[in-house]
Amino acid sequence: MDSFQSQAQFQPLFCSPALPSELLWYIIHHCTHPTTLIVCSSRVAFLTALARDIRQSQEEDEKSQDQEQEERQNSPQPDQDKITPGPWACQLLASPLYQVAVARHIRIVFIPTVSHLRAFLSVFNTNNNSTNTNKVPTPPPPHPSTYDPLPNLQKHPQSQRLLLVYGFLASHRDSSEWSVQGLNTTAAVLLETGRRTGLGVVVVEPVEDDESLRSLDDLLGEKMPVVSGSALRGAGGDLERSVGGGLIGRTVDVRRVLGRWFQFGVGKWETERQRDRLCS
């Protein structure tokens, strides 16, 4: 009961962007049943990104020490904006028995649209009964790992039971829900689901191809409209004329919107990247 209560009191976290392999490595080694990962993209898109991630890691590992030394000499100024996966990416391919066992007890769902995300969250539960479609098998014992991707978070005596959402912002960005109103609505549903199920809520964004959206500060500094134009048009022409001048075109930082719901945190993967850059 104590561990359940501590999970229910877990401060919702918006974490720095992670590659697919980084996120999966964290889940396998630090999460336990009934942790659920919601990927806000199609299954094909996520697996394609994961394959590219792991392939890049393999290519990096195949480089010899002599080649790396030569590159450092010829390139005194390394590319600081290049984000590459850590050594855990290749380790995912090894599929040790424990890793396979844990993966069987972590639920993963792919929800590419905001409307479907809200609908899923509104009915999601973790009750272990015969009528619950979210049921997964009982997990194996916790893994004795020392890797902690989120060192600044409060520590729990047992593995974390989380509701992770991967690509929360990305799913809103290219839709009519990209507004303060849309983001607040989904965040409210998400946090209510975490409270109701007793799962700690963690949001992690993928590493974007757009170089202006690759860090936590980049994401939080992004501008978004207060109300989407489609929402005003849907409310009627009179409303659009009366308030449109004050709302359409007005933007705020994402940080201001998410700060109402989440604590911001930097993942261990970020510090690992910085260390790799210093060593390169």
The CATH number covering residue 88 comes to 3.40.50
| Res 102: pLDDT | 53
Radius of gyration of the chain (CA): 21
Q: Mapping DSSP to helix (H, G, I), strand (E, B) and coil, where does residue 173 land?
A: helix
Residue 118 lies in a domain: yes
Residue 35 lies in a domain: yes
Residues with Cβ within 8 Å of residue 144, at least 6 apart in sequence = none
Q: Quick one: which of 200, 192, 185 has its CA closest to 121?
A: 192
| Res 13: pLDDT | 94
| Res 234: pLDDT | 54
Helix (H) and strand (E) counts in the chain: 14, 8
As for how many domains the chain has, the answer is 1
Q: Quick one: which of 212, 279, 270, 266 has its CA closest to 86?
A: 270
Q: Mapping DSSP to helix (H, G, I), strand (E, B) and coil, where does residue 184 land?
A: helix
Residue 26 lies in a domain: yes
Residue 8 lies in a domain: no
Provide the 10 A C-beta neighbour count for residue 230: 14
Q: Cα(first)–Cα(last) distance of the chain, in Å?
A: 47
Residue 68 lies in a domain: no
Residue 67 lies in a domain: no
Residue numbers in the chain where pLDDT is lower than 70: 1-9, 60-104, 128-159, 212-213, 229-249, 269, 272-273, 276-280
| Res 181: pLDDT | 93
Structural element, H or E, at residue 15: strand 13-18
Please, what sign has the CA dihedral across residues 272, 260, 227, 112? positive
Phi, psi of 115 (to 5 degrees): -65, -40
pTM of the model: 0.73
Q: Mapping DSSP to helix (H, G, I), strand (E, B) and coil, where does residue 208 land?
A: coil
| Res 117: pLDDT | 98
| Res 147: pLDDT | 42
Residue 181 lies in a domain: yes
> Could you give the CA distance from residue 220 to residue 11 in angstroms, rounded to a whole number?
18
Provide the 10 A C-beta neighbour count for residue 86: 21
Provide the 10 A C-beta neighbour count for residue 114: 20
> Could you give the CA distance from residue 32 to residue 102 in angstroms, rounded to a whole number?
8
Residue 71 lies in a domain: no
> Could you give the CA distance from residue 68 to residue 132 in angstroms, rounded to a whole number?
53
Give residue 92's domain range: 14-58+83-127+137-279
Q: Kindly state the greatest CA–CA separation across the chain.
A: 70
